[in-house]
Amino acid sequence: DIQMTQSPSSLSASVGDRVTITCQASQDISNYLNWYQQKPGKAPKLLIYDASNLETGVPSRFSGSGSGTDFTFTISSLQPEDIATYYCQQYDNLPSFTFGPGTKVDIK
């Protein structure tokens, strides 16, 4: 099974800060890596698919990069409405889907 790690597990940043979250896969997953935002009490929402593609309607301050085993998710300028937990998710063709443990983002 492919394991996913995320870091940090939580972070606190100021409005306007650049925020970066990393996700690492235990083996090469090409670009089969997606990012979701989950606000408290809400269902997850897709933000980035295939590592770097911005979902329609998602603000451009969100971005993703990486391939193979190492991936990065960035919020270029943190806004109050970005308070949420962010999850990476990988896919392989067994099929199997694994979510990372999540990164909780807070405002300082």
Partner 1 sequence: EVQLVQSGAEVKKPGESLKISCKGSGYSFTSYWIGWVRQMPGKGLEWMGIIYPGDSDTRYSPSFQGQVTISADKSISTAYLQWSSLKASDTAMYYCARLSSSSWFDPWGQGTLVTVSS
Applying CB under 8 A, which residues contact partner 1? 1, 32, 34, 36, 38, 43-46, 49-50, 55, 87, 89, 91, 93-102
Q: Other C-beta atoms within 10 Å of 19: how many?
A: 20
Min CB(20)–partner 1 separation in Å: 20
Supply the minimum distance, in Å, between the C-beta of residue 53 and partner 1: 9
Cβ 102 to partner 1, closest distance in Å? 5
Q: Confirm if 13 and 95 have CB atoms less than 8 A apart.
A: no
Residue type present at position 12: S
Number of H helices, E strands in the chain: 0, 11
For partner 1, the closer CB: 12 or 97: 97
